[in-house]
Amino acid sequence: MSDDPFLLSQKFPAAPNYLIQMYLFQREGQAVVGSRISERLGVSAAAVTQSMGRLVARGLVRHDAVRGFSLTSEGRAMAERVVSRHYLVERLLVDKLDVPWDVADEEAVHLQGSLTPRLESILAERLGHPETCPHGNPFPGSPGESRILAAPPLTALDAGDTGRLIRVTEEGELVGGLLAFCSEHGLHLGVEIEVLGRDQDSVVVSLSGASLEVPNGYARHICIEMSE
């Protein structure tokens, strides 16, 4: 049996970030390859190779020359705990400390490794056992996980479609300016949206009685739960 995520982070500080990204890639149905991890974490290919080798040695990750990297069952269980801790820290920052949601993810990365199992339990209780992070991404195993992940992005909708903003994808959180754009224009979770039209560059939506042009680079990461 490998280390608890808290203990692992003390011995191998980069491990939680690798596990999180692998889990999120797999949850979104994306292949886990070294170049993608390198880009997502902003580290060199050599650093990825070294870190993934350590995770393979610990039995948390397996590697296949054709399929790339994947989490073992033990690795997935640990990744789910790491993701949950990250989301709890984000919720603490946003819900209790009023940290803007466009910087909460980055700050949570620095804090998540210090979260002990006892503090994790206390936070979950005090925060009311939230089901999503502040950006709408579901906690692993939460009741609405499948429904939330199935919500289509704005770029997949047509004129006349309506619904409510339910999630900004994890990948979208890393797109420069996206969360700030959402905050500036009232694109918060739960807001009702109607698609007015779209073209090769943007999606035009109506919210709160005003129209807004959302660049496709942002719109592909903004997911909508369709109205019935």
Note the pLDDT tens digit of each residue in 146-196.
Answer: 999 999 999 999 999 999 999 999 999 989 899 999 999 999 999 999 999
Tell me the pLDDT band of 1, cut-offs 50, 70 and 90.
very low
Query: Position 228: which residue type?
Result: E
DSSP H or E stretch at residue 205: strand 202-207
Stretch 212-218: mean pLDDT: 96
Q: How many CB atoms lie within 10 A of CB 213?
A: 15
Strand 222-226 relative to strand 162-168: parallel, antiparallel, unpaired? antiparallel
Q: What is the pTM of this model?
A: 0.85
Stretch 125-131: mean pLDDT: 95
Answer left, alpha or beta for residue 74, where phi above 0 means left and psi between -120 and 50 means alpha. alpha
DSSP H or E stretch at residue 75: helix 73-91
Stretch 81-93: mean pLDDT: 93
Q: Which domains does the chain have, with CATH numbers?
A: 5-76 (1.10.10.10), 84-141 (1.10.10.10), 151-226 (2.30.30.90)
Helix, strand, coil percentages (3-state) for the chain, rounded to 5, are 50, 20, 30
The predicted pLDDT at position 208 comes to: 84
Mean pLDDT across the chain: 90
Residue 16 above 90 pLDDT? no
